[in-house]
């Protein structure tokens, strides 16, 4: 893998979309800080990147804890000498029918999904500000956060998760306006139905209830997608790679939908 001299941090890099993003950005030449609550899976991601010829390190972090996020981001920036892209990917997505929402669920999901995004942005700004734009429009740092198709339209039984993803779109728009003078862009990506371990678990449950296979269960979700299939983590990673690279330098404040045609905006 050729190195481009830049450094990206991915939270929730231990599995699913986060792992795919980390692998894709490493392929594109970034050194990667693989942050995750599960240090073992973060190490697996970093090891896979290293085995493929890339550069990566694993750091354990609870993104709901502001101090931990700052320490984790600092450790990666110190190890690699800089930070160029901060990807706030870590999140929780429990099913929460309106009547079943508890204060505990509400606080936990918001602390991780929304709090983790705030703290990731703050921790990254500290390092981005070490470089000043030499001309108007020059980009010295990029913030990319995980919203969702459920952050574009309300989805049944996702009142808490969806609310956090709508919030991340708002945070992204405000951050774009606040940080543009510093040469920092802020964008979000909005996946639809992605084949992750969590999604496979949901599909398997539906399949078991109907005496069918996992693939049958996944096909039931694909019926809502114009392109006829649910997405792979690599589909989302491709969008994040675009937002991380120079071709998106003139894009900020946006939430790109990557859902195969479920939502038009």
Q: Do the Cβ atoms of 87 and 141 come closer than 8 Å?
A: no
Q: Which of 80, 106, 118, 161 is catalytic?
A: 161
Q: How far is CA 249 from CA 68, 85, 128, 136, 147, in A?
A: 29, 12, 15, 12, 20
CA distance 234 to 221: 18
CA distance 169 to 151: 7
Q: How far is CA 211 from CA 64, 166, 204, 205, 222, in A?
A: 39, 36, 10, 10, 18
Whether 80 is a known active-site residue: answer no
CA distance 52 to 264: 37
Q: Which positions are annotated as active-site residues?
A: 161
């Amino acid at each position: 893998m050729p190195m481009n001299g830049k450094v990206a941090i991915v939270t929730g890099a231990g599995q699913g979309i986060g792992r795919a993003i980390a692998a894709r950005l490493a392929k594109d030449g970034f050194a990667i800080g693989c942050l995750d609550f599960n240090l073992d899976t973060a190490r697996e991601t970093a090891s896979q990147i290293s085995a493929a010829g890339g550069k990566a390190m694993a750091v354990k972090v609870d993104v709901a804890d502001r101090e931990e996020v700052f320490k984790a981001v600092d450790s990666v920036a110190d190890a690699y000498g800089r930070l160029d892209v901060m990807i706030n990917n870590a999140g929780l997505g429990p099913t929460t029918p309106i009547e079943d929402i508890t204060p505990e669920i509400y606080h936990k999901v918001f602390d991780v999904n929304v709090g983790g995004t705030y703290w990731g942005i703050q921790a990254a700004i500290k390092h981005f500000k070490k470089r000043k734009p030499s001309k108007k429009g020059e980009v010295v740092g990029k913030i990319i956060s995980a919203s969702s198709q459920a952050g574009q339209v309300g989805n049944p039984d996702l009142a808490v998760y969806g609310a956090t993803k709508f919030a991340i779109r708002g945070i992204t728009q405000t951050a774009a306006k606040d940080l543009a003078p510093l040469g920092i862009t802020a964008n979000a990506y909005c996946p639809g139905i992605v084949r992750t371990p969590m999604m496979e678990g949901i599909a398997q449950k539906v399949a078991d209830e109907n005496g069918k296979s996992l693939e049958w269960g996944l096909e039931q979700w694909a019926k809502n997608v114009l392109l006829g299939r649910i997405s792979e983590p690599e589909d989302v990673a491709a969008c994040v790679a675009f937002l991380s690279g120079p071709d998106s330098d003139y894009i900020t404040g946006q939430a790109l939908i990557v859902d195969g045609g479920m939502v038009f905006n």
